[in-house]
Amino acid sequence: MARIPLFYTFGNHMHWVDMEWLWGYHVLPGCIRDMLHFCRETGAKGNVNFEGIGYEKLAAEDPEALAELRAAVSEGMVEPVGCSYGQPYGLFHGGESNLRQRVYGARAVRRLLGIWPQTFWEEEFDFFPQLPQMLATAGFRYASLFFQWTWHTPEIPKETEPVIWWEGHDGTRLLCATRNRLNLHQWPEDMELTFSTLAEEAVGDGSTPLILQWLELMPSPDWMCRSEVLLPKMRELLADERFEIRMGTLGEYLEGLSGMGVSPMVSLDVSSEVRKRQGAYLPHWTQEGATYAVTFRLADSLPREVREEYAREREQLRRMHEQGRLNSTALAYEYRRLYSEKVEDQLDRGHGSCVLKEAQNGDLVANALKHFDGERYELLAYCVMPNHVHVIVRPRVGFELKQIVHSWKSYTAHEINQSTGVEGALWQVEYYDHLVRNSQDLSAQIRYVLENPNRAGLSDWRWVWAGESFPDHDRDGHGNHGRDAHAALPVRRYSMDQVWHGMSLGKNNDNIRRLSREAEQSLLSAETMAAIGGLMGRPYAQWDVYPTWELEEAWREVLSAQHHDNDECEGLCGHIGRFSYERSLMISSRVGRRGLANLMRRFGEPLGGSVNWGPMKSFIGGLSPAKVDGTPGRALNGPTPEQTHLMLVNTLGWPVQRSVGPRAQKQIVEVPAFGYAFASWQTVKVDPEDLKPKPPVATRTRGDLEFEFDHPSQRILQLKSPEFPEGVFASEGISPVMTTHAGVEQPVPANRYDRDMNGNAVAVGSADKELRVHALFADHCQGVQLSYWGNITRPDPGMKAGYWVEFPLSFRPQILADQPYSINEVQGGGPFLKKYPEGDWMTSPQWFEEIDHSITALTLLDLVDADNPDRGLLIVHNGNQQWFVDHERQAVRCLITMYDPWDERYFRDDLDSKFLLLPHGPMTNSERWKTAQEWLRPSETSAFASAPLEPQPFSALSCDAPNVVMTAFYRETEDYSGKYLENYAGEGMGYPYVVRLVEFDGLETVANLTVSGTVGKAFKTNALGVIEEELSTDGSIGVPMRPYEIATVYLDIVEGRKQTRDLDAKREIWATVHRVED
């Protein structure tokens, strides 16, 4: 009896963060050696999953262990996978952080292990819609979406297939191992349960099933996963005569599918012989009883230049095959790829006469296809397009495909030529066919045929059909565009409602994730400040033209702090993560402050000898606070208000408007992208109206915006705008802060209300804990800022028992939420399970709660009126990412804090939650994202003194495409970032400028960049800096952008090149100064 083939590989997960912090220096070296022992004892080949900083620490702390690992990688025994710098929950962190995670991690792996990583597989939940694109632009080709249940309970849809195409927001696809029934956790007990039914599970469609197992090896009696406890079960599997176990790394398994996916050697009837026939131009594989996907086209359907290029490349493939450089399988793959890239894409563009779009001709072809259905063949699906035809057909015994296709073409050509009076060939001589491999392949082919008119922009197309036997394939996602080399594999574009992070998101007021956002934003601002400063020439704000090491070290602190254990195990190790965030903030703030001071000194002297880095406050530099009567304070060092100026620096990639001064004398200043502008200090006063006491229930109005706030009950009752004259909220208004105790929802007590230092009424909780609530108009937009701060009592354990605020709406909402570098519609996913320990996290029993209608929003939630989509309520938050929706009550709920039993006794009782409530009219996704960033990242503002002057605004770089956002502007060093890369864009630039662009609105466009300076060279690259195309520097720089693309551009700006000094001319200052005796 034939043995059942099984492919086995494992991922060995460990990390420097947390594990080495708690267990000591032996963790990573011990993990490596136990893994290699497991491989040698079983013959297994596997995958190592450390974070980038872990490899760096190994190089410093145990170079011998690193050398052993590098040797295993070189031998092919082990493949590094995942390879982010800090193993984050990517969904919880900013878009730029996620890109730097992949870039910094890939560079560390190449530097220390000698190879560029190509396979993404992380143990923790690392998923969001733009991740496939980010991985691909960092050099990754493969992936796995099997995340392990540990402290968190992640959910990804289970598949019956071992491999799929994982499709991202922009259409990028990675060949991806799935979550399925052959996934194993690290426990021998789990292996026992899976191995007991392995023979049944392994029966498939001819492909080799994949056993994918997570391990966390550490040879310590104080740890549960060790090779010694796993080896007995593995030896038992290897000895089972029913199975043929094949060993390899995950990348090897998926690479093997790259050659197998197009091969016609595995079909619905594997016992039938496959024959190859050479057609006029293309080879054809046939098999008795097989099903085919056929395409034939009009003779004039391709432009001449396309036909010629296609013919040249096809001939080259034929010669390579004859020379033995391509076997039959590889040849089939290359023909399929070539046809997809050169032909099918062009056909949908409607070249040529397109006579099939005429009703009588389209009907004629469709009727011809159906004429012998059930007699000579079974017709499964077809689509008659304007210049080509797709057919899924299964010939009956005695009828060959070539004869069937010939009869279709011959009959229809005669009839159409006769009716149109045209002579000559109607159809291209050759046709294209694909032998369908299995049921999944058949689904993909039929889906492609049915979706062809939509892809080509043809609505209500009449000549498209599939038989009744075609099943429901909604889960196949988007069509397999081009029916490329992996047409047999389903395509999955999982929505955010289908997945679940499984984490205690919301715990401790999301303090550690709020720190992540603040640190990332401070770094982006400091990078921009330093990049602008380099354009000004000497004197530099630091020794070199750009503080590369400082800023990249600050990034390394942030990326390591974003590690998933700092989220999961906050009570165990989160304090070290917070220290890393704080250190990063100190470094980036210092760089930003130093750069701003250096820039200001070109116009005058910073007041008080120092500058402010951050939003303008009552004290700025050396100014005294503004007086209550509204007159400006005087500078402590003597300058008059006429000699005092404000510099506003915009570190965002688009112009922003900032208001300076009180309501009565407000000055609106437009600050250009990546630039600065100025304002007079005389307008900066405090409005006495803002200091007057407010009544318990206050209606406040600014322009067309009005809100009503009830102080005793701690809530906004209503918010009105021109878009919502009836009010945004339902009659009860926003809820007070609520919690659930003993299964009963109840408000947090508000025993009294008092007035704060400015006279505003605030609600106060119980005697020992204070919860304060405040509402005021936002500074930069027509919105209201709602704040909750103070201290609270620890709630009962779990997400459902946490503190929350509900926003009931007066309209039925369509909900949009943001994820890293994208915004998508969400419904609220679930139900999902969340688990917690009853006591000690390592040894106590665990309990579950069910979570439903969950939404994760990185920075914003937009509630668009489903019945009037030209209006909505945008809610931006400062860190509370966990939301829930109640569709029946038309309400959304934000979890502002919770107690997580995984943290045992640890709980933060401090609260600092802020929300921007912005009623709006029509709004694009790019406008939503920019609005959130403007509120979260206000302009850097500081004051300086000089003689009266009128300095001009300045912009280092601007972009004319409203749907494209410049999200980062920084520099790197050629000798470090370009090391090990071929075709590095920064070669010869020394300190290239790097610009990140993101298209948010799903529109293909060309983004024109205007640079304040002379550009020597410009390149569009991947995230690592590898050139994709050179860009013209004649005038503005045009960057082609695909829908939802994340693009990277490298610039050589002449004015920013390093200006070296002739220090040798000053040698006499140093050379003999020590000879004081002489």
> 865-875: per-residue pLDDT in tens?
999 999 999 99
23 SS3 class: helix
**Position 611 in a domain:** no
Structure tokens at 891: 């309400």
Higher pLDDT among residues 886 and 1072, named by residue: 886
Of the three residues 870, 903, 936, the one that is the final residue of a domain is 936
502 burial type by CB count under 10 A (0-12 exposed, 13-18 middle, 19+ buried): buried
Is it the case that residue 534 has pLDDT exceeding 90? yes
| Whether 249 and 338 share a structural domain | no
> What is the distance between the alpha carbons of residues 894 and 875, in angstroms, rounded to a whole number?
11
Give the model's pLDDT for residue 203. 55
Give the model's pLDDT for residue 639. 55
Are the beta carbons of 97 and 516 closer than 8 angstroms? yes
Give the model's pLDDT for residue 681. 61
5 burial type by CB count under 10 A (0-12 exposed, 13-18 middle, 19+ buried): middle
Higher pLDDT among residues 1014 and 766, named by residue: 1014
Q: Would you place residue 853 in the very low, low, confident or very high pLDDT band (cuts 50, 70, 90)?
A: very high
Is it the case that residue 628 has pLDDT exceeding 70? no
| Whether 71 and 29 share a structural domain | yes
Mean of pLDDT values over 724-744: 93
| Whether 40 and 162 share a structural domain | yes
Higher pLDDT among residues 330 and 401, named by residue: 401
| Whether 866 and 837 share a structural domain | yes
Q: Which of the residue ranges 179-193, 293-307, 565-579 has the most confident prediction, judged by mean pLDDT? A: 565-579
| Whether 500 and 480 share a structural domain | no
Q: Would you place residue 1078 in the very low, low, confident or very high pLDDT band (cuts 50, 70, 90)?
A: low
Higher pLDDT among residues 663 and 731, named by residue: 731
**Which residue range forms the structural domain that includes residue 1026?**
956-1056
Mean of pLDDT values over 521-539: 96
Residue type, 313: E
Q: What is the CATH number of the domain that holds 22?
A: 3.20.110.10
Mean of pLDDT values over 839-855: 94
The β-bridge relationship of strands 4-13 and 243-247 is parallel
Q: Would you place residue 761 in the very low, low, confident or very high pLDDT band (cuts 50, 70, 90)?
A: very low
Give the model's pLDDT for residue 337. 56
Are the beta carbons of 926 and 1001 closer than 8 angstroms? yes
**Position 1067 in a domain:** no
| Whether 476 and 500 share a structural domain | no
Q: Which of 191-200, 678-687, 918-927 has the lowest mean pLDDT?
A: 678-687
Is it the case that residue 744 has pLDDT exceeding 70? yes
- Angle at which helix 27-42 crosses helix 227-239, to 10 degrees, equals 20
Q: What is the CATH number of the domain that holds 821?
A: 2.70.98.30
Give the model's pLDDT for residue 44. 95
Give the model's pLDDT for residue 342. 61
Q: Which of the residue ranges 385-394, 760-769, 779-788 has the most confident prediction, judged by mean pLDDT? A: 385-394
> What is the distance between the alpha carbons of residues 531 and 674, in angstroms, rounded to a whole number?
9
**Position 678 in a domain:** no
Q: How much of the chain exceeds pLDDT 90, in percent?
A: 63
Q: Would you place residue 1 in the very low, low, confident or very high pLDDT band (cuts 50, 70, 90)?
A: low
Q: Under 8 Å CB-to-CB from 891, ≥6 apart: which residues?
A: 730, 806, 807, 808, 809, 885
Higher pLDDT among residues 914 and 754, named by residue: 914
Query: pTM for the whole thing?
Result: 0.78
Give the model's pLDDT for residue 627. 33
Structure tokens at 1014: 């002379």
Give the model's pLDDT for residue 476. 31
| Whether 252 and 296 share a structural domain | no
Q: What is the CATH number of the domain that holds 977?
A: 2.60.40
Q: Would you place residue 287 in the very low, low, confident or very high pLDDT band (cuts 50, 70, 90)?
A: low
Residue that is written with structure tokens 């509120």 in the block: 935
Give the model's pLDDT for residue 420. 87
Are the beta carbons of 570 and 906 closer than 8 angstroms? yes
**Position 530 in a domain:** yes
Q: Would you place residue 713 in the very low, low, confident or very high pLDDT band (cuts 50, 70, 90)?
A: confident
Q: Which of the residue ranges 201-210, 306-315, 587-596 has the most confident prediction, judged by mean pLDDT? A: 587-596
1057 burial type by CB count under 10 A (0-12 exposed, 13-18 middle, 19+ buried): middle
Is it the case that residue 104 has pLDDT exceeding 50? yes
**Position 226 in a domain:** no
Higher pLDDT among residues 396 and 288, named by residue: 396
**In terms of Cα–Cα distance, which of 239, 303, 273 is closest to 43?**
239
264 SS3 class: coil
No. of H helices and E strands in the chain? 23, 53
For 705-859, list the strands marked E by DSSP.
705-710, 715-720, 738-741, 744-747, 752-755, 761-764, 771-777, 784-791, 803-808, 813-819, 822-826, 832-837, 846-851, 854-856
Mean of pLDDT values over 179-184: 91
Q: Under 8 Å CB-to-CB from 724, ≥6 apart: which residues?
A: 810, 871, 873, 919
Are the beta carbons of 592 and 606 closer than 8 angstroms? no
| Whether 306 and 394 share a structural domain | yes
**Position 232 in a domain:** no
| Whether 866 and 928 share a structural domain | yes
| Whether 112 and 156 share a structural domain | yes
Give the model's pLDDT for residue 172. 94
Mean of pLDDT values over 749-758: 47
Chain centroid, CA 753 distance in Å: 44
Structure tokens at 544: 């070199």
Strand partners, 423: none
Give the model's pLDDT for residue 447. 84
Give the model's pLDDT for residue 348. 81
pLDDT tens sequence across 32-43: 999 999 999 999
Give the model's pLDDT for residue 771. 86
pLDDT tens sequence across 444-462: 788 889 988 988 888 889 9
Q: Which of 321-330, 430-439, 1054-1063 has the lowest mean pLDDT?
A: 321-330
Is it the case that residue 105 has pLDDT exceeding 50? yes
pLDDT tens sequence across 467-506: 865 544 332 333 332 233 344 688 999 999 999 999 999 9
**Position 986 in a domain:** yes
Give the model's pLDDT for residue 221. 84
Sign of the torsion formed by the C-alpha atoms of 562, 567, 571 and 572: negative
Give the model's pLDDT for residue 518. 96
In total, how many domains does the chain have? Answer: 5
Q: Would you place residue 983 in the very low, low, confident or very high pLDDT band (cuts 50, 70, 90)?
A: very high
Give the model's pLDDT for residue 636. 38
Calculate the average pLDDT of the chain.
Answer: 85
pLDDT tens sequence across 62-72: 999 999 999 99
Q: Would you place residue 787 in the very low, low, confident or very high pLDDT band (cuts 50, 70, 90)?
A: very high
Q: Would you place residue 947 in the very low, low, confident or very high pLDDT band (cuts 50, 70, 90)?
A: low
| Whether 60 and 177 share a structural domain | yes
Chain centroid, CA 1046 distance in Å: 9
Q: What is the CATH number of the domain that holds 376?
A: 3.30.70.1290
> What is the distance between the alpha carbons of residues 78 and 71, in angstroms, rounded to a whole number?
9
| Whether 60 and 157 share a structural domain | yes
Q: What is the CATH number of the domain that holds 516?
A: 1.20.1270
Of the three residues 431, 458, 484, the one that is the final residue of a domain is 484
Give the model's pLDDT for residue 624. 33
Give the model's pLDDT for residue 615. 44
342 burial type by CB count under 10 A (0-12 exposed, 13-18 middle, 19+ buried): middle
- Buried residues in 155-184 as b, exposed as e (16+ CB within 10 A): bbeebebbbbbbbbbbbbbbbbbbbbebbb
Of the three residues 542, 570, 602, the one that is the final residue of a domain is 602
Give the model's pLDDT for residue 616. 38
Is it the case that residue 894 has pLDDT exceeding 70? yes
Q: Which of 130-144, 282-296, 349-363, 995-1009 has the lowest mean pLDDT?
A: 282-296
Mean of pLDDT values over 1008-1033: 97
Is it the case that residue 1074 has pLDDT exceeding 70? yes
Are the beta carbons of 981 and 967 closer than 8 angstroms? no
Mean of pLDDT values over 770-785: 88
Torsion, CA 275, CA 278, CA 283, CA 288, rounded to 10: -30
**In terms of Cα–Cα distance, which of 967, 1059, 985 is closest to 1025?**
985
**Position 199 in a domain:** no
